[in-house]
Chains A and B, each alone.
Chain A
């Protein structure tokens, strides 16, 4: 706690107006820790003033975008002020002719997409919950979705950022041109910084022309092996799917209402294609044939139906009934190991009596496993089982050069299992960066890798 919350409160109220400040932080608790104040600055300049005031008062702060990723990371070591970016939701400049847009950090991704779609453009980043995810949060948490297969992640689309550093200083990184090596690439420092190096207040991204034609091919297989074989075949072919998702039967079941899968208990391999009519048609044909040759059942969705299918697939993990006991992990492995990791997550979970829903960005090396203990387990038993599975999977992922990160977990679970895993050889350098930028350790203290 800062020595005097009341003083800070007055100071912040003077900066942003009493309406934009509250002491009721219950809705902004981070891992159960409730902030003393929640402040909603209205301009980038106000963000800088707010941060400077917090720094002076030695108040620990956590930036808050759409709140969809607040379950990620270690519990904060301290939390005094949540800085909500919700009022920073304006377009700064849209330059459709140069395929580029600048927005304030609180702009929801969904709104940005709707806006640029009017000019037949899009940002090919598609994390779950697009209507809530803010551009600042997307960048800070480096969020992505199925489309990352062809289009990459935030680091491939962010051209420029404005950031308020932990002492309130305002800086800018990059610019609005698509090639820029004028000094260090500071954008990369703030992408995936999880609010530990300051607050992102403005984001410039490049855009893509909207594809003429879209289609989704769903291959349903009764066996895992067949799905994995087709996956490998697609990867070795000339086909250029935009997305390639592998869903286990539990996830496929969740999608049944939308995708109309024929039978329960199937593994689903879903590929998204976009481009000209002729390339999309050809890819659909090729994939349908591959699916059929392995005894799978293929179903194709086109245009608007294809878009709906992707919205459902992207949000599949969020479709399960909310349960505070659920643990969601993200496993990152070399691409060739993705399918095996999905299978392993299922087996390990089953062995501990956990219900698992496992999906994968199968062409990108990312597996998402949502684990839920059975109702027959005691709380201690459930925690032990979840921890055992998570630790075992982490060991497997680390063994092949990857990682396991907790996306969502109850605070009591986080007390047992590290949110990010063990830091590697570059941790000392990361620490020095953190200390250079945030010597008082006030921005999201303790939340990141290694308790940084």
Chain B
């Protein structure tokens, strides 16, 4: 790091071993699950709110930017230290601080993995609902920063619906409490504003989440289709029938093949698409609901509907769904995940158009996605070593996002803008909209040191030039 003095000072705060600045080690922090890379100048392992505050005070004094990093699983370049500086490694702040069953709240450190929280709550009979498919490796801090969704969000909403309080360290080191254990804190809902801010407002060091009783019962179904259109029509039909399943997930043939290759979940290889549908809640009507859904699927052209007989069968279906990205990663050197979201009823149309984009650019585009939410994830496969192909992929990706916007949707449902979709922001936001968002950024981070250069690069440069 050019700033040796800062590294010295950081070491005094967190201890010698908790600051990394050797090239070999820094390499490990120059990428995330997106495609860009940029090496940080130093990595600091933090252990407490107080430590984060002292580290950020130092960075602030030196005018050095910082980026908090959780699991590094985000798909939009959120953890890439675009302007250099310090990466805060949050993973050691991974304790569950408090579970208050009576008040239905848990207080957690941000470095805890989403799945770990689930595993800690399960024996008590409780659960935290948002469950990104990456839950094994994604942290709560990352979930908060990206406002992550997951397969159960159709019924239960996304991270923001379940986060009620935060402790945040601002880029000048100041510690602020937002929301908390009690509802409706007077003042602006800064908790709500912070969730989804992609690390650009500050570092969250504690999260208060809403927990709920585990459902009394659950039923999981696999509906198998010979036509992708029929599958996506069923999604709307289920909703139109007034049903609110917990899950409505879809995988197409390319994904099914990839999943079967690496996980062997028993999915049929000769179908066009499958829907994973889950209903949960009180036991009394689950059978009834399941029958109604099976009927609807068959009426809308399903070839077969399998109902998981036991927990093992259910787990297998979910292993396939949760492992889908990983499975696809095994059949291709790289892929770009598009995260566009559309009104649910336009799914059949948008899927057709995505396929056309694939043909136009001569690219393979498997689909695995949160159909109930209208949240697509076309995975554009390519080889990162082939620059010409990569250029085509970027064009195809942008075209898919444009499609989503034209159909009344948006450019990101759950993965965030980061570095990836900065150029697509103009598709949905006017110059005035962007200026308004930048006002909030300036209020949280006047010095522009918190994960700078993300989300709105061009506008940011304009506003700072003023």
A→B interface (CB under 8 Å) = 95, 97-100, 120, 142, 152-153, 155-156, 165, 169-173, 175-189, 191-193, 208-210, 212, 232, 235-240, 275-279, 281-283, 330, 332-337, 364-366, 397, 400-403, 405, 420-421, 423-430, 432-433, 435-437, 448-450, 452
User: Which residue of chain B lies nearest to A177 when distances are taken between CB atoms in the complex?
Assistant: B341
- B192's contact among A185, A332, A426, by CB below 8 Å, is which? A185
- A189's contact among B102, B149, B440, by CB below 8 Å, is which? B440
A176 near B282 with CB under 8 A, answer no
Interface size of B by Cβ–Cβ distance < 8 Å?
Answer: 91
Contact partners of B456 in chain A: CB under 8 A: 183
Rounded to whole angstroms, the CA-CA distance of A335 and B184 in the bound complex is: 12
Contact partners of A182 in chain B: CB under 8 A: 410-412, 417, 421, 425, 428-429
User: Which residue of chain A lies nearest to B182 when distances are taken between CB atoms in the complex?
Assistant: A402
Rounded to whole angstroms, the CA-CA distance of A283 and B105 in the bound complex is: 24
Contact partners of A450 in chain B: CB under 8 A: 187
Given contacts A240-B281, A282-B284, A401-B180, contact A188 B189 (CB under 8 A): yes
Given contacts A95-B343, A184-B197, A189-B440, contact A448 B213 (CB under 8 A): no
Rounded to whole angstroms, the CA-CA distance of A231 and B149 in the bound complex is: 32
Of A177, A193, A276, A337, which is in contact with the most chain B CB atoms at under 10 Å from its CB? A177
**Interchain residue pairs with CB less than 8 A apart (14):** A97-B240, A99-B239, A100-B343, A169-B436, A172-B433, A178-B373, A179-B375, A181-B417, A182-B425, A183-B428, A209-B244, A334-B100, A364-B183, A429-B170
Rounded to whole angstroms, the CA-CA distance of A279 and B289 in the bound complex is: 11
Given contacts A99-B239, A177-B413, contact A333 B244 (CB under 8 A): no
Rounded to whole angstroms, the CA-CA distance of A402 and B435 in the bound complex is: 34
In the assembled complex, B55 has its CB within 8 A of some CB on chain A: no
Contact partners of A179 in chain B: CB under 8 A: 149, 153, 158, 341, 370, 373-375, 413-414
User: Which residue of chain B lies nearest to A121 when distances are taken between CB atoms in the complex?
Assistant: B242
- B182's contact among A276, A277, A279, A397, by CB below 8 Å, is which? A397
A188 near B176 with CB under 8 A, answer no
Contact partners of A191 in chain B: CB under 8 A: 189, 192
B157 near A156 with CB under 8 A, answer yes
How many A-B pairs have beta carbons closer than 8 Å: the answer is: 259
Rounded to whole angstroms, the CA-CA distance of A191 and B215 in the bound complex is: 30
Rounded to whole angstroms, the CA-CA distance of A180 and B190 in the bound complex is: 18
Among listed B109-117, B295-303, B322-330, B442-450, interface-contacting one: B442-450
A176–chain B nearest beta-carbon distance, Å: 6
Nearest 6 pairs between A and B by C-beta? A188-B192, A336-B102, A402-B182, A209-B242, A436-B439, A432-B443
- B442's contact among A156, A181, A436, A448, by CB below 8 Å, is which? A436
Given contacts A97-B236, A181-B147, A212-B242, contact A186 B374 (CB under 8 A): no
B185 near A436 with CB under 8 A, answer no
User: Which residue of chain B lies nearest to A160 when distances are taken between CB atoms in the complex?
Assistant: B410
- B187's contact among A209, A335, A426, A437, by CB below 8 Å, is which? A426
B182 near A186 with CB under 8 A, answer no
Known A182-B428, A186-B440; 13 more pairs at CB < 8 Å: A153-B184, A175-B428, A179-B341, A184-B441, A189-B440, A238-B213, A283-B282, A334-B103, A334-B105, A364-B183, A403-B182, A436-B440, A448-B187
In the assembled complex, B196 has its CB within 8 A of some CB on chain A: yes
A171 near B432 with CB under 8 A, answer yes
Interface of chain B residues 427 through 466 with chain A (CB within 8 A): 428-430, 432-437, 439-444, 446, 455-456
A427 near B343 with CB under 8 A, answer no
A334 near B182 with CB under 8 A, answer yes
A55–chain B nearest beta-carbon distance, Å: 15
- B177's contact among A97, A426, A452, by CB below 8 Å, is which? A426
User: Which residue of chain A lies nearest to B240 when distances are taken between CB atoms in the complex?
Assistant: A97
Rounded to whole angstroms, the CA-CA distance of A176 and B344 in the bound complex is: 11
Contact partners of B192 in chain A: CB under 8 A: 155, 185, 187-189, 191
Given contacts A208-B244, A278-B288, A336-B100, contact A183 B184 (CB under 8 A): no
B196 near A185 with CB under 8 A, answer yes
Rounded to whole angstroms, the CA-CA distance of A428 and B446 in the bound complex is: 12
